[in-house]
């Protein structure tokens, strides 16, 4: 698998300076990392939707798109596939191949030592929740 990903990476590098009018890869490089990240996220969502819906053939196709867009983003960020494999090996040595490194535990916020003002003594301020009205789980 790593040979295939390395070939894909080299193809992305070779295509990044082509004409954006004819090359999707060159167009992504021209539009920058934000567009690359958006395309990667879209493909990841499509993989998830197809997996949840039990569409194995679509998961395969969308996973190929996901790997392509991930490779484009790696190239733009100066990350090589071997950098990722090295990190995977490091994690395997620490935790085993199937485990993800645990997130660092955040320490609790310190308790204020001076009394709170009356205005701030009420209920905690809640974050605003934004609903995505009219959206459903379907591919665009």
Is residue 120 in a domain? Answer: no
Instruction: Provide the token pair at 51.
Output: 């997996």
User: pLDDT per residue over 5-56, tens digit each?
Assistant: 999 999 999 999 999 999 999 999 999 999 999 999 999 999 999 999 999 9
pLDDT of residue 130: 47
User: H/E/C letters for each residue in 27-61?
Assistant: HHHHHCHHHHHHHHHHHHHHHHHHHHCCCHHHHHH
SS3 14: helix
Is residue 47 in a domain? Answer: yes
pLDDT of residue 134: 47
Angle at 63 between CA 57 and CA 69, to 5 degrees: 150
pLDDT of residue 123: 54
Is residue 128 in a domain? Answer: no
Is residue 95 in a domain? Answer: yes
pLDDT above 90 for 122: no
**Full-model pTM:** 0.68
Q: What is the CATH number of the domain that holds 19?
A: 1.10.287.1080
Is residue 31 in a domain? Answer: yes
Is residue 62 in a domain? Answer: yes
Total structural domains within the chain: 1
Is residue 88 in a domain? Answer: yes
Is residue 9 in a domain? Answer: yes
Indicate the DSSP class of residue 119: G
User: pLDDT per residue over 70-79, tens digit each?
Assistant: 999 999 999 9
For residue 85, what are the domain limits?
2-102
Question: Quick one: how far is CA 51 from the chain centroid?
Answer: 17
């Amino acid at each position: 698998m790593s040979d295939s990903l390395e070939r894909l990476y080299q193809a992305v590098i070779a295509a990044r300076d082509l004409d954006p009018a004819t090359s999707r890869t060159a167009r992504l490089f021209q539009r920058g990392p934000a567009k690359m990240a958006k395309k990667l996220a879209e493909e990841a969502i499509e993989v998830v939707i197809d997996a949840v819906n039990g569409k194995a053939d679509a998961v395969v196709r969308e996973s190929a798109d996901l790997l392509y867009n991930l490779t484009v983003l790696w190239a733009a960020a100066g990350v090589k596939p071997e950098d990722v494999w090295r990190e995977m090996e490091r994690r395997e040595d620490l935790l085993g191949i199937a485990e993800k490194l645990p997130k660092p535990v955040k320490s609790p916020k310190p308790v204020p030592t001076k009394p709170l003002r009356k205005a701030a003594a009420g209920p905690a301020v809640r974050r605003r929740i934004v609903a995505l009205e009219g959206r459903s789980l379907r591919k665009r």
